[in-house]
């Protein structure tokens, strides 16, 4: 990607609104999460928390101190979604300050999955991989691909469930939760009306395309949800977008159009792969373009690639443009192949 992953400075982005970058350990792509701190007469309220490591925590504490806040004065933590780079430190901040922790119920429901032993998740993954047509050696390697993340995930449950349209109490600010499922089932953006700011979490990032994939904790049609959620934020006339990674930017609508075009191009790739005779999710994914050659993608990146392919297939299915013939492996059948992709289609389709 060529992104500059060095930690940006703590910055006052509006009077009373600060960004505190918190490093993500071993992150090749993201580097850091941007925690937003809203100043109020009671003390600061945060949006997102950071990954649960000692390093990240001390970085958050010192970053807040630079902005003039004490971690013990934090009043509330609104978490955009339950991924560990956002939710991880929420419990520790609550312990230090007595702050409430707020999360959308659809993501709160997933916290329990991490508290239990991960065996359940692994069995589900194996079944999924077999259905997708993954070869045996890949299934064995991939089953363990998500394991390193588990010890880092904080089991703290939220105090507050924040639903679409809720206005979490942050004195002096006009925050409204905008439920934007897709990247995670309970992803929240936050609209700050007085300054027309869209805090976009991982839903909209300036350069990276947020991962939308099918996995044991995703919805059934996360890409369908994501496309609807893109339209939803387009209803807001934002003066600036404040994402949880990379950097803030102007041009919400333009970025939404780019993200829609990206997924349209990926859908075309999926259909072209099917036109070339690929039938299992594994085969279809192996025909698509990735940041490196298919046989060099390993571990969680391979799972993510399969999950992303599957998300596009389920979206096509929801549009009536593909269906799945169940089996081991299951086989995808394209309907309504566009003319521009038909030349590569086999007679069977």
What minimum distance in Å lies between the beta carbon of 33 and Zn ion? 6
CA–CA dist 344, 52 (Å, integer): 48
Q: Which of 21, 56, 83, 129 binds Zn ion (CB under 5 A)?
A: 83
Please choose, from the candidates 203, 248, 245, the residue with its C-alpha nearest in 3D space to the C-alpha of residue 227: 203
DSSP state of 249: B
Interacting span for Zn ion (CB under 5 A) from 85-93, 104-112, 137-145, 333-341: 85-93
Query: 83 or 303: whose CB is closer to Zn ion?
Result: 83
What minimum distance in Å lies between the beta carbon of 295 and Zn ion? 27
Please choose, from the candidates 19, 75, 11, 14, the residue with its C-alpha nearest in 3D space to the C-alpha of residue 45: 75
Query: 85 or 166: whose CB is closer to Zn ion?
Result: 85
Q: Segment 239-268, which members bind Zn ion (CB under 5 A)? A: none
Which tokens in the block code for residue 94? Answer: 């609550």
The residues pairing with 191 across neighbouring beta strands, listed in sequence order, are 176, 198
CA–CA dist 135, 75 (Å, integer): 50
Q: Write the DSSP string, 65-111.
A: HHTT--GGG--EEE-S--SHHHHTTHHHHHHHH--EEEE-HHHHHHH
Query: 166 or 202: whose CB is closer to Zn ion?
Result: 202
CA–CA dist 11, 268 (Å, integer): 41
What minimum distance in Å lies between the beta carbon of 5 and Zn ion? 13
Indicate whether 132 belongs to the interface with Zn ion (CB under 5 A): no
Q: What three-state secondary structure class fits 174?
A: coil
Interacting span for Zn ion (CB under 5 A) from 76-84, 173-181, 220-228, 251-259: 76-84
Query: 43 or 158: whose CB is closer to Zn ion?
Result: 158
Query: 84 or 91: whose CB is closer to Zn ion?
Result: 84
What minimum distance in Å lies between the beta carbon of 155 and Zn ion? 18
Please work out, in degrees rounded to the nearest 5, the angle formed at the alpha carbon of residue 295 by the alpha carbons of 290 and 300.
70
Query: 91 or 222: whose CB is closer to Zn ion?
Result: 222
CA–CA dist 166, 245 (Å, integer): 24
Binding mask 186-225 for Zn ion (x = CB under 5 A): ----------------x-----------------------
Question: Applying CB under 5 A, what is the total number of residues that bind Zn ion?
Answer: 3
The residues pairing with 47 across neighbouring beta strands, listed in sequence order, are 36, 78
Instruction: Specify whether the CB–CB gap between 43 and 74 falls below 8 A.
Output: yes
Interacting span for Zn ion (CB under 5 A) from 80-88, 128-136, 291-299, 312-320: 80-88
What minimum distance in Å lies between the beta carbon of 186 and Zn ion? 11
Instruction: Specify whether the CB–CB gap between 222 and 187 falls below 8 A.
Output: no
What minimum distance in Å lies between the beta carbon of 205 and Zn ion? 9
Distance from the Cα of residue 232 to its chain's centroid: 17
What minimum distance in Å lies between the beta carbon of 114 and Zn ion? 14
What minimum distance in Å lies between the beta carbon of 24 and Zn ion? 8
Instruction: Specify whether the CB–CB gap between 113 and 141 falls below 8 A.
Output: no
- Tell me the residue number closest to Zn ion, measured at CB: 83
Alpha-helix runs per DSSP H in 242-320: 252-275, 281-287, 299-318
Q: Which of 85, 246, 283, 308 binds Zn ion (CB under 5 A)?
A: 85
Query: 16 or 216: whose CB is closer to Zn ion?
Result: 216
What minimum distance in Å lies between the beta carbon of 202 and Zn ion? 4
Query: Residues interacting with Zn ion, by CB under 5 A?
Result: 83, 85, 202
């Amino acid at each position: 990607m060529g992104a500059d992953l060095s930690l940006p400075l703590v910055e006052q982005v509006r009077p009373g609104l600060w960004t505190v970058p918190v490093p993500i350990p071993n992150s090749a792509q993201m580097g850091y999460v941007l925690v937003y701190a809203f100043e109020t007469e009671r003390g600061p309220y945060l949006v997102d928390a950071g990954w649960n490591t000692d390093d990240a925590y001390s970085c958050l504490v010192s970053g807040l101190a630079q902005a003039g806040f004490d971690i013990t004065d934090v009043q509330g933590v609104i978490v955009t979604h339950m991924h560990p780079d956002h939710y991880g430190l929420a419990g520790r901040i609550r312990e230090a300050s007595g702050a409430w922790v707020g999360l959308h119920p659809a993501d709160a429901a997933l916290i329990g999955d991490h508290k239990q032993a991960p065996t359940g998740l692994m069995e589900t993954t194996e079944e999924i991989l077999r259905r997708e047509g993954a070869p045996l050696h890949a299934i064995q390697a991939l089953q363990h691909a998500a394991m390193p993340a588990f010890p880092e995930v904080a089991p703290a449950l939220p105090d507050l469930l924040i639903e679409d349209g809720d206005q979490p109490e942050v004195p002096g600010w006009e925050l409204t939760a905008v439920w934007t499922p897709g990247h995670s089932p309970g992803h929240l953006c936050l609209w700050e009306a007085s300054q027309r700011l869209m805090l976009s979490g991982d839903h909209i990032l300036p350069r990276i395309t947020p991962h939308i994939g099918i996995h044991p904790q995703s919805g059934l049609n996360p890409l369908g949800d994501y496309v609807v959620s893109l339209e939803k934020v387009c209803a807001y006339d934002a003066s600036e977008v404040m994402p949880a990674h990379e950097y803030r930017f102007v041009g919400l609508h333009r970025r939404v159009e780019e993200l829609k075009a990206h997924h349209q191009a990926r859908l075309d790739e999926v259909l072209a792969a099917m036109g070339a005779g690929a039938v299992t999710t594994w085969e279809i994914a192996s025909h698509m373009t990735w940041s490196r050659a298919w046989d060099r993608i390993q571990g969680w990146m391979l799972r993510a690639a399969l999950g992303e392919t599957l998300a596009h297939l389920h979206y096509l299915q929801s549009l009536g443009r593909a269906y799945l013939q169940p089996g081991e492996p299951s086989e995808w059948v394209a309907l309504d192949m566009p003319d521009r992709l038909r030349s590569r289609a086999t007679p069977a389709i």
